[in-house]
Amino acid sequence: MPKPESFAIDKIYVPVKRKKALKPELVREIAESILEIGQQAPILVRPDEGRFVLVEGLHRFEACKALGEKTVIGILVSAEIVHQKTLLSDSAEAEAERDKMARLKKLRLEKEAAERSAAASEVVMETQSAVLLRKSSEKEIRNNPKASRSQENRGTSGSTPRTLSEWITQQKRDGGRY
């Protein structure tokens, strides 16, 4: 493993893409820690045409810079190691994304299944309610001693009245106009 060394802060270039991930509150916390115990973990830099490019340790680098330091402790790594790290992190990110998508798909399927089950049970409940209502109305007509023969027949078989007087009685009872 390469040995940590001191690098001039003004000779280190931070890629724009890395700067977007900067969290000022984290820089403040690290700066306080550096004031108390010093820089414990070195940053990683790689050589690039007379300067160094920051590979890892953006918040530590910015904390040292904010404290007014002229140098920062770092380790010089080769471009091949950086490339391998990038490939590993890319494959890890892809794996994490695949896992996330699989979890989302599973949740979506579970939700759809629950919705279908709820809809099916609702239909069953409506059907059972209709059957119970029909049975109770049939029992009412059969158990009613004042019910005429035509009411009993109409309740069970749905037949029409046989005489004009039965029809008029049915119309009056049902609120119809004759």
Q: In 3D, which of 54, 75, 79 has the Cα closest to residue 3?
A: 75
Which of helix, strand or coil describes residue 100? helix
pTM score of the predicted model: 0.46
Q: How confident is the prediction along the chain (178 residues), in pLDDT tens digits per residue?
A: 678 889 999 999 998 888 888 999 999 999 999 999 989 899 999 998 889 999 999 999 999 999 999 999 999 998 666 556 655 666 677 788 888 888 888 988 999 988 988 888 887 787 877 777 777 766 665 555 565 555 555 544 456 788 988 888 888 888 877 6
Specify the pLDDT at position 75: 93
- Could you tell me if 151 and 139 are in contact, meaning their C-beta atoms sit under 8 angstroms apart? no
Q: Determine the straight-line distance between the first and last CA of the chain, rounded to whole angstroms.
A: 104
Helices (H), 69-163: 79-143, 149-157
Written as six digits, the tokens of 5 are 């060394």
Residue 98: the pLDDT is 85
Element (H, E) at 7: strand 5-8
Q: What is the pLDDT of residue 132?
A: 77
A 10 A CB-CB count for 128 gives: 10
Torsion-angle region of residue 118: left (phi > 0), alpha (psi -120 to 50) or beta?
alpha
For 29, list phi and psi in degrees, rounded to 5: -65, -45
Tell me the two tokens of residue 138.
């049939």
> Is residue 21 within 8 Å of 13, Cβ to Cβ?
no
Name the region of 49 (left: φ>0; alpha: ψ -120 to 50; beta: rest). Answer: left
Rounded to an integer, what is the distance from CA 66 to the centroid of its chain? 38
Nearest to 89 by CA among 56, 135, 42: 56
Residues belonging to the chain: 178
Q: What pLDDT was estimated at residue 25?
A: 93
